[in-house]
Amino acid sequence: MFSVDNLSVSYLDQAVLKNFTLKMNQGEIVALVGESGSGKSTAIRAMFSLLSHEGRIDSGSVCLDGESLLDKTAEQWRDIRGKKIAMIFQDSGAMLNPIAKIKGQFVEYIRIHSSMTKAEAVAKAKEMLLSTNLQDPDRVMDSFPFQLSGGMRQRVGVAMAMTFNPKVLLADEPTSALDATTQKLIVDEMMELRDKHQMSIVIVTHNLGVAVHMADRIFVMQNGEVVEQGTSYDIVHNPQHPYTKQLLDTVPELEATDRWHC
């Protein structure tokens, strides 16, 4: 359903992602784990055609339902983003306009990607905020981003990304800036939305505990390459690469015991 084949990316002529390959089925969750600089965020941003100006895709392909995405124009990507592929960022608050209320930003996002009237867009925005356990959507809509906690801003980001039930959800370190309790709530909400809509999720995280809790498969990345991949169970119980073993020896922020009792 969603595939990335031999994707290589450079920044200022320095290779940062090398021959990355990923094939996903509908409803599957795949986690990319590794330390900062391992290439995992570059991989996910390349999938979304959101590299910085210094970034360049040197080779490879990204396909959704057999359709190539890398040759799409900016206008074509506007139709793809949100509806077919959506993204949650590490700090959704940083992606929001600090001097505009949530209502105006959310409604504008919905109307750019659909033919909804303003009233319909307002109703849809409230519905999506409720779906991420923001129980007072009117107050959230009437708030500026700085008036919301980090966890609430992140839930707004999840709600916006989920508005059009995309086939693929890309999540770039969506919990790293949150406390452990809020982190678990966001992870559980993402998984509930996956179960409800059968979307595929690619999550980037440095936290192997989050990856084990969420993912069907885990890709371990180091220095721009995938050094090991496998089911979450196999990665935890039968790691092959020294770097994977090193990650497992660290204390995760979300205990791996939640899922596999290891």
pLDDT digits (tens, 9 = 90+) for 129-172: 998 888 899 999 999 999 998 888 988 998 898 899 899 999 99
pLDDT digits (tens, 9 = 90+) for 207-230: 888 898 899 999 999 999 999 999
Residues 260, 246: Cα–Cα separation, whole Å: 18
* Average pLDDT over all residues of the chain: 89
pLDDT score at 253? 45
Q: What does the pLDDT average to over 241-257?
A: 70
DSSP line for 4-72: EEEEEEEETTEEEEEEEEEEE-TT-EEEEE-STTSSHHHHHHHHTT---TTEEEEEEEEEETTEE-TT-
Are 226 and 235 in contact by the 8 Å Cβ rule? The answer is no
Nearest to 194 by CA among 164, 169, 172: 169
Alpha carbon dihedral 26, 262, 207, 196, in 10-degree steps, equals: 30
Q: What are phi and psi of 60, to 5 degrees?
A: 110, 180
Cα–Cα distances in angstroms (integers) from residue 6 to residues 19, 21, 62, 135, in the given order: 4, 5, 9, 43
